[in-house]
Structure 1
Amino acid sequence: MRTLALLAALVAAPALADPLPLDAAKVIATYPHDRGAYTEGLFYRDGSLFESTGMEGRSSIRQVDIKTGTVRRKISTPASEFGEGIVDDGDQIISLTWKNGHGYRWSLGGFKRLGTFNYTGEGWALTKDAHHLIMSDGTPVLRFLDPRSLRVVKRLKVTADGNPVANLNELEYVDGEILANVWMTDIIARIDPVSGHVIGWIDVSALTKQADAGGGDAVANGIAWDAKGRRLFVTGKNWPVLFEIAPPHAR
């Protein structure tokens, strides 16, 4: 019932007369995760997870061993900034900051800072399709960026049942869909990247309960896709566990 109430609130509708598909996350495996990691961004690359964490004075970018949760490599981002989402782009990592209006380019292999770029509004999360980087900023509108210039080339408004869906946070591109954590909920939205329509929801409330992280900010956030192995990983802010769940089309 809590999940249905959340969905009704998300689409600003008093009731869901003809609700979109809602599937409970099916857990395949669990792995350790650093409880101290305030997860903002997550992606899979070459057998490792890459994770960004937030909070001023605690923000970092990390390479993490999936099976053990061990941090193999880590760099702290400027102490005055709140780190946000990350994505890989060739041999680089692109990262966002929350309210500073700029992000960074880092070397993938050594986490060396290579440059900065600017954007308007807030920075929340990043993912990519075959041609663009895709950015969320807390609004119902996703930005599609040119990977070279990092300029906005188009915008996509996300709606469910005709209503805008705000608080789109961590993103991952999976089999032609954009998956998005909806901040402060147990819901992952499945978004059509052409129309912006939500085509379904994934309910991770059982995972939130199992993680038992405590605290109002310890919400689900973090999605990573191993395309070759067809493994989908999810976690949350300060969660002590990383979950592998069945991808949407395997439910």
Structure 2
Amino acid sequence: MARSYGRAPDALRPVTVTRRYLKHAHGSCLFELGDTKVLCAATFSETVAGWRRGSGKGWVTAEYSLLPASTHTRTRREVAAGAPSGRTHEIQRLIGRSLRTVVDMRSMGGEVTLNLDCDVLQADGGTRTAAITGAYIAMMDAFATWVEAGRISDVPVLDNVAATSVGVVDGVACLDLDYSEDSVAEVDMNVVCDGKGRFIEVQGTGERTPFDRARLDSLLDLAAIGTTRLVELQRRMIAEDLETYRDGA
């Protein structure tokens, strides 16, 4: 089966990450996964939602959007539609849940909110997984900015978070599906892991055919290959303070 970039079934698309992409955000990056491009920004607000007030803890939340020209046909802005679609709402919740699992909310500097805004500039499959992986880098830079400003003494992040997609296409288990593969996949899954390889969330659907336990296990093993590689990328960028990182063809 021919794949984009001449990839093997267990290979990611080329990854390019540009940190500190935006001037005014506390943290940001442009995350490119093949032809999928997601701009991730992390910005603090000096408030929390009403239900969180009085707790002394912070909060991490996310918003996600497809920009109008990001897809083959123009996507209408959801502000104009009056409310986020069910798909958008579900993805926003996924991003927020995924990042909150590794943040110590008691060490965020009080009742503040870290807003993670993930805007898809160009979509070619895997936008939600790219958003999660890129939002982690933006979040780390935002917390580093908070440390430099004297608001907190240390970055309150306990581990990495990365996500990838896997699926079965023409009977072959494949890592990191682009749109041409995702649109015809028999099985489609999104997998979020921490830096220890533990699962944070698994979303799996038999799009065209049911799958058995053996197939599920093989797909999770394949996803672990992808998330491990993405975690290594995140760690290298942050440890070496790289502005841009390119990996792959």
Q: TM-score range by the shorter chain?
A: under 0.3
Larger relative helix fraction = 2
- Please, what TM-score do these two structures have when normalized by structure 1? 0.26
Larger radius of gyration: 2
Larger relative strand fraction = 1
- Please, what TM-score do these two structures have when normalized by structure 2? 0.26
Higher relative contact order, structure no. (Cα contacts within 8 Å, ≥ 6 residues apart): 2
